[in-house]
Amino acid sequence: AQKITQTQPGMFVQEKEAVTLDCTYDTSDPSYGLFWYKQPSSGEMIFLIYQGSYDQQNATEGRYSLNFQKARKSANLVISASQLGDSAMYFCAMREGIGGGFKTIFGAGTRLFVKA
């Protein structure tokens, strides 16, 4: 079974509009973390935002916010006021416990295209 599911292979958004990128996850670990990373065409992975499973409030970082719905096991990324530079691949990832440590699993990604 997929641990991290990103159902949108590609998304288009008009510049200055908001966009939501979907992510659902599956874990039996009560303590876990959810991350979003951005990967531009240059290839580097850039950390955007983190949400802990026990966090009461949704995480926000500038124009990025994470819509965390624990009961639905979803952690959607919302980008407000899209910019042309937001065009990139976006990966959702989950960190869960394994033995005495942690393991991070990435989804397949969503490619975002921002139109001028």
Partner 1 sequence: EAGVAQSPRYKIIEKRQSVAFWCNPISGHATLYWYQQILGQGPKLLIQFQNNGVVDDSQLPKDRFSAERLKGVDSTLKIQPAKLEDSAVYLCASSYPVEGGDEQFFGPGTRLTVL
Cα→Cα distances 43→5, 38, 46, 72, 114, Å: 21, 9, 9, 31, 18
Piece of 15-23, 40-48, 63-71, 74-82 that binds partner 1 (CB under 8 A): 40-48
How many C-alpha atoms does 62 have within 13 Å on its Cβ side? 5
Min separation Cβ 50 and partner 1, Å:
4
| By the rule CB under 8 A, 95 interacts with partner 1 | yes
> With contact defined as beta carbons under 8 Å apart, do 74 and 22 qualify?
yes
Q: Which residues of 1-37 are buried (b: 16+ CB within 10 A; e: fewer)?
A: eeebbbebeebebeeeeebebbbbbebeeeebbbbbb
Min separation Cβ 63 and partner 1, Å:
18
Site for partner 1 in 42-61 (CB under 8 A): 43-47, 50-52
Site for partner 1 in 6-25 (CB under 8 A): none
Which of 14, 40, 102, 115 forms a contact with partner 1 (CB under 8 A)?
102
Which of 87, 107, 112, 114 forms a contact with partner 1 (CB under 8 A)?
107
| Residues found near partner 1 in the complex (CB under 8 A) | 4, 33, 35, 37, 43-47, 50-52, 91, 93, 95, 98-109
